[in-house]
Amino acid sequence: MRDTAVIIMAAGKGKRMKSNLPKVLHNLAGKPILNYVLDTVDQLEVKRKILIIGYKSDKIRELMGDKIEYVEQKEQLGTAHAVLQTKKLLSGFKGDVLILSGDVPFLTVKNLKKLLEYHQANNFFCTLVSTVLKNPKGYGRIIRDKKGEIKGIIEEADLSTDKKKITEINSGIYCFNKEKLFQALEKVTTDNKQREYYLTDTVKILLGEGLTIGNIIIKDYSEILGINNQLDLADASQKVYQKTLQNLMLQGVTIVDPNSTFIERGVKIGQDTIIYPFTIIEKGTKIGSNCFIGPYSHLIDADIGKGVRVWASIIESSAVKEGANIGPYAHLRPETVVEKGAKIGNFVELKKTIMGEGSKASHLTYLGDATIGKKVNIGAGTITCNYDGEKKHKTVIEDGVFIGSNNSLVAPVKLGKDSYTGAGSTITEDVPAGNLAIARSRQTNISGWRKKKKEDKS
């Protein structure tokens, strides 16, 4: 096969999205629309990959980094003008140019390879991809003669009434002979209702020169439809989510209600795990077998062991080991590890904390920057005071410690093995192993205080 350069068009704002975010950066079931296109291109054997950027180009560069070449279209004057911006970058390239749109996420590698092979085997100067829609509104139409030969492409805004009935639409996906492409681009004018330089006009120009044009018709139209507005985005996201859920269910995962469950691609879940409704599981998450997740849980980059129960809780970039119990209404913030058989209960928040095997924090607790040993009991209302206004400090609680209710553990502080603290204590100093620490003022009852208060007011 001849060398191929890929050009991906992603310069527009996407006005119909009604958003200040570039259209291609909108989140589609867990990752930007543009990433779907780039992931597909990465599976092709191509020499060059070029991204045409324009609106808020800095945001796109920030996301994509240096894994692709960039060309900036500073003024959005049309698709032909956009592609023309790559002329200098491709000046020394010899071969074919594959042109894709950054907002068409479901185009398959199989059909792109088919396009390239068909184009090169027949030595076409341009090969375009089309499909047939029952409702083609909004798309450019493929114009054919009585013999069925392609005569050109007309954009929606420039269609006459009779041609609006044509149902074969242009996908915006092309493969060009590089030299003929740029020669044709130089001849494109703005003689149309939108006063733009249309890439579609290159097809008419090449045909006018007697050059051969190829065509592939893709039967599954959903593969080449672009995302133009928020409705399209929601529909596309639903398709991705449903496909992911179907694959998981075929692998032995129980999804109680697929219509209210959102799991991103790449999430791994063991068999006989049950996912309850209104649960969101994001990429990077791994869940073992025989777990119960949800309802109303949100897992982000979480590592969940076998037999774990997560009920109505949030887990971010944290690990929960085998047999642990989380929730309801718990929040595990990044760099937290909950060891085997531990319990994190109602309204408990952990941040950068290791919760030892068999330990419990059953309710109303905050533990930050803490290392907690085995079989520790954390009483209700306990907090680690880990921030002094400038730095974070660690709390260390060794095996077998019993923390009374409503304790404040002022870090840095260490509680030795099998030590106890009394309820209501503020612990500011280390507690030796086996000791009981009580740090609260002695209760004083003031006799006659209520009567005196009334007399003072009179």
Read off the pLDDT band of 133 (50, 70, 90).
very high
Q: How far is CA 129 from the centre of its chain?
A: 29
> What is the predicted pLDDT for the residue at 101?
96
**Residue 396 phi, psi dihedral angles, 5° rounding:** -120, 125
Per-residue pLDDT reduced to its tens digit, 7-43? 999 999 999 999 999 999 999 999 999 999 999 999 9
Q: How far apart are CA 301 and CA 334, in angstroms?
A: 9
**Is residue 266 within 8 Å of 283, Cβ to Cβ?**
yes
> What is the predicted pLDDT for the residue at 458?
72
% the chain with pLDDT above 70: 100
Catalytic residue, candidates 119, 298, 331, 363:
363
Per-residue pLDDT reduced to its tens digit, 54-95? 999 999 999 889 889 999 999 999 999 999 999 999 999 999
- Mean pLDDT of all residues belonging to the chain: 96
Domains contained in the chain, CATH given? 4-223 (3.90.550.10), 346-458 (2.160.10.10)
* Residue 363 is among the residues annotated as catalytic for this protein: yes
Upper half-sphere CA count for residue 420 (Cβ side, 13 Å): 5
**Res. 307: pLDDT tops 80:** yes
Average pLDDT over residues 207-230: 94
Read off the pLDDT band of 218 (50, 70, 90).
very high
The number of helices, as runs of H, and strands, as runs of E, in the chain is 8, 39
Q: Which residues does residue 262 pair with via DSSP β-bridges, in sequence order?
A: 280
